Structure 1
Amino acid sequence: MSIQDVENTKNASLQFNAECTSCGASIEFNPTAGKLKCPYCDHETDIPLPEDEEERVAQEMDFEEAEKTGNFDWGAEKKTIICKSCSAETIYDALQVADSCPYCGSNQVMEASDTNSLAPNGVCVFEVTDKQAGENFQKWIKGKWFMPSEAKRSAKPDSFKGVYVPYWTFDTKTSSRYNAQYGIDRKVKDKDGKERTETDWYNTSGFYQEFIDDHLVSATKRYDRKMMKKVEPFNVLNNKGYRPEYVAGFLSERYSLGLKEGWGQARKEIHDHLHGRISSKIKREHNADRVRNLKLSTTHDDITYKYLMLPIWLSSFTFNNKIYHFMVNGQTGKVGGDVPTSPLRVTIAILAVATLLFILWYFFR
């Protein structure tokens, strides 16, 4: 660590008093009560609301005026944090911005001292407890048809870790000019009387506008993207203006995918979305059966963004000496993850489907 890094870490500090006013222990955000709660004496503390109504939810930020838009590949970087309660110095991964002191247990909600990154302006708080996450996991795993029975019986989640994961949301007014071909099917008979389908193709062009609201892009490269997709969507409208009290007792991660690259990913996904919407529009307007060679040119106006922290429960279970990870959406309780697969069950299912298809073929022949 350089001398400059050491100087920067001296500025890292608690953003609110994390001590219980009743017993002096570390307090945590309680999803059930929506308050700060002491896990030892159960004393609860209300989280004060901002006086300004607009500050109670995350505000849209102007994309063009953002100055810090780059990525942060911080996986190997470290920082030193000094505990306010016991003065212990702890080395953390630079992406980790909220944790508890390993020496005295004090909750520390830390702002990374790096001045080249943006701070979150909103948070969707945990609404599902770790107990509810475990119950949802058990229901989810029972529905896995190809999972070995022994694995279902033995699968017990390890202790859950609540993590606030960074996301970008983007709003934009889109205006698209397009040209394409649409096809209308008709039935014809050949000289032998057999019927076939032919398609008549016609050219078309037009203009399409749509406002894209809160398009979501994950701002972390740490977690399996396919697994994260399984626990989406999040209700990003149900957000609160960022306050460190909301993330007390949980891990929080700063973004590694920067605003600029996040917008680049959003543009590609919005393009695919618009492609589908325009195809549907063409079919509807021309009573067409199919669309091909669709080309569109889109302009984006009034681009805004939010930097939100979204809640996820992380855990895992072990079967046959292999670890299987899974996630639970901290808002909805939706579960996604990996499970072991029984080759025997898969084979039986394939044979059953093949047998059914043969019977149907034989019957209708």
Structure 2
Amino acid sequence: MAIQITNYQCPACTGPLHFVGESGRLECDYCGSSFDVTEIEALYAEKEQKAAEATEAAEAAKAAKATEATENTVDASTVKDDSEWDDSGLNEDWGADREGMRAYSCPSCGAELICDETTAATSCPYCNNPTVVPGQFSGVLKPDYVLPFKLNKEDAIKALKKHYRKKILLPSTFSKANHLEEIKGMYVPFWMYDGKASGSIRFHATRVHTYRDGDYEIRETSHYDVSRSGSLCFEKIPVDASSKMPDDYMDSIEPYDYSDLKPFSTAYLPGFLADKYDVSVEESRERADLRCAGSLVSALKDTVSGYTTCNEKNRDIYLKRGKVHYALLPIWILNTKWEGKDFLFVMNGQTGKLVGNLPVSTKRVIGLFAAIAASLIAIGMTMLVLLVR
């Protein structure tokens, strides 16, 4: 665990504060602002309280998400296995590279990051807190693979601006007035699972044929019992191992091109941070099982075509769990601020695919609704006139 230290930053410019004996106040080296000690202590006490509440809320959300994942996993009664995910190849032996590595811990959100000793970590990529300091480098698994960055900071900015385009409900001032607070390049930890899924699914399908017989319209429905079976082998199914990164963001920026995957080397780290995993192989098991079994189910369903309706009756899925690998995959994190609110965007550092939530203009929503309503009224009035004639 990295050592956590809180440094006081200036509330006006976030520069470092130091105590000046002559004035008895904390003064900023950059903007010249000064503050009473009790004022700053009260401010940081409030921040620490909010950080504690945020951590508690994050843990509760994590527990709830784990419960939801369990509920959404392919029905346990239909999934069989005689194996566990094999994590025997994971190890902490960094060899000579250990001496050049450092660990960083954020006192605000608790994120633990690793990087080479030359990286000057000045802020946390998750909460943008500038109080990130070096700590002990121990108990950190060495990754098996790393996928190097292909896109730089300028590419991330261009992708964000492109993301704003053609969003008709986006407030007109957002793209101009929002302030890009921070851009961080970071390697996110992923567990990669090898394995095989086999199984069968039964469907009830129908074909509906409609024809005329004199004055009558005949509707004829044929019923079918459809069965599909097969198997799929999986190699390096990715599951992000960081609780700080929203799973939906990580899923949305996939896929990565594994042809560029390299054996891990610290030579790829300078200039970037690397998140330390905080979700274990076992804790990620449900998501891995879901992705493996779900992919087989989707593949089997895609082979059923030519029917009017098709509903699944039952399924029987078998998983053969294989090797687990540890890899670091590249992302750019972009934090923007607009009208006092923070907006997070994440970009795939290899392909450029970007996701993030945008604000919605209430005025534009009302205007769009009014335009649609006016069009419907106009169409209705036209039809009414035609009927009267």
Q: Which residue of the partner structure matches residue 344 of structure 1?
A: 363
Q: Which residue of the partner structure matches residue 331 of structure 1?
A: 350
Larger mean CA deviation between 348-357 and 265-274 belongs to 348-357
Work out which of the residue numbers 372, 381, 385 in structure 2 matches 1:353. 372
Q: Which residue of the partner structure matches residue 195 of structure 2?
A: 172
Q: Which residue of the partner structure matches residue 313 of structure 2?
A: 294
Q: CA RMSD in A?
A: 3.7
Q: Which residue of the partner structure matches residue 150 of structure 1?
A: 173
Q: Which residue of the partner structure matches residue 138 of structure 2?
A: 113
Q: Which residue of the partner structure matches residue 218 of structure 1?
A: 240
Alignment of 1:272 with 2:281, yes or no, is no
- C-alpha separation between the residues in 2 aligned to 1:288 and 1:267? 30
Using the TM superposition, give the Cα deviation of residue 322 of structure 1 relative to its aligned residue in structure 2, in angstroms.
1.3
Is the Cα contact below 8 Å between 2:242 and 2:277 reproduced in 1?
A: yes
* Structure 1 or 2: more helix by fraction: 2
Is the Cα contact below 8 Å between 2:160 and 2:354 reproduced in 1?
A: yes
Using the TM superposition, give the Cα deviation of residue 232 of structure 1 relative to its aligned residue in structure 2, in angstroms.
2.6
Specify the SS of the correspondent of 2:244: coil
Q: Which residue of the partner structure matches residue 186 of structure 2?
A: 163
Alignment of 1:136 with 2:159, yes or no, is yes
Is the Cα contact below 8 Å between 1:68 and 1:118 reproduced in 2?
A: no
1:228/1:347 CA distance change after superposition, 3 Å = farther
Is the Cα contact below 8 Å between 1:83 and 1:89 reproduced in 2?
A: no
Q: Which residue of the partner structure matches residue 22 of structure 2?
A: none
Cα offsets for 1:294-327 (capped at 9, x unmatched): 3221222362332221111112222111121212
TM-score (norm 1): 0.66
Identity %: 22
1:226/1:359 CA distance change after superposition, 3 Å = farther
Q: Which amino acid aligns with 1:98?
A: C
Is the Cα contact below 8 Å between 2:87 and 2:324 reproduced in 1?
A: no
Cα offsets for 1:96-116 (capped at 9, x unmatched): 12263569xxxx9999412xx
Q: Which residue of the partner structure matches residue 184 of structure 1?
A: 207
1:206/1:357 CA distance change after superposition, 3 Å = same
Q: Which amino acid aligns with 2:151?
A: V
Work out which of the residue numbers 303, 320, 324 in structure 2 matches 1:305. 324
Q: Which amino acid aligns with 1:218?
A: D
1:142/1:194 CA distance change after superposition, 3 Å = same
Specify the SS of the correspondent of 1:113: coil
Cα offsets for 1:6-56 (capped at 9, x unmatched): 9xxxxxxxxxxxxxxxxxxxxxxxxxxxxxxxxxxxxxxxxxxxxxxxxxx
- C-alpha separation between the residues in 1 aligned to 2:105 and 2:321? 41
Count of residue correspondences = 283
Cα offsets for 1:231-289 (capped at 9, x unmatched): 33222332111111111221111222222232321221333332222222233xxx322
1:222/1:84 CA distance change after superposition, 3 Å = closer
Q: Which residue of the partner structure matches residue 233 of structure 1?
A: 255
Mind listing any 5+ residue stretches in structure 2 that lack a counterpart?
4-82, 91-97, 123-132
TM-score (norm 2): 0.62
Is the Cα contact below 8 Å between 1:230 and 1:336 reproduced in 2?
A: yes
- C-alpha separation between the residues in 2 aligned to 1:256 and 1:145? 39
Specify the SS of the correspondent of 1:255: coil
1:193/1:153 CA distance change after superposition, 3 Å = farther
Is the Cα contact below 8 Å between 1:125 and 1:239 reproduced in 2?
A: yes
Using the TM superposition, give the Cα deviation of residue 290 of structure 1 relative to its aligned residue in structure 2, in angstroms.
2.2
Specify the SS of the correspondent of 2:223: strand
Q: Which residue of the partner structure matches residue 87 of structure 2?
A: 66
Larger mean CA deviation between 94-103 and 141-150 belongs to 94-103
Cα offsets for 1:63-87 (capped at 9, x unmatched): 7442499xxxxxxxxxxxx9979xx
- C-alpha separation between the residues in 2 aligned to 1:190 and 1:307? 66
Using the TM superposition, give the Cα deviation of residue 125 of structure 1 relative to its aligned residue in structure 2, in angstroms.
0.9
Work out which of the residue numbers 312, 319, 329 in structure 1 matches 2:338. 319
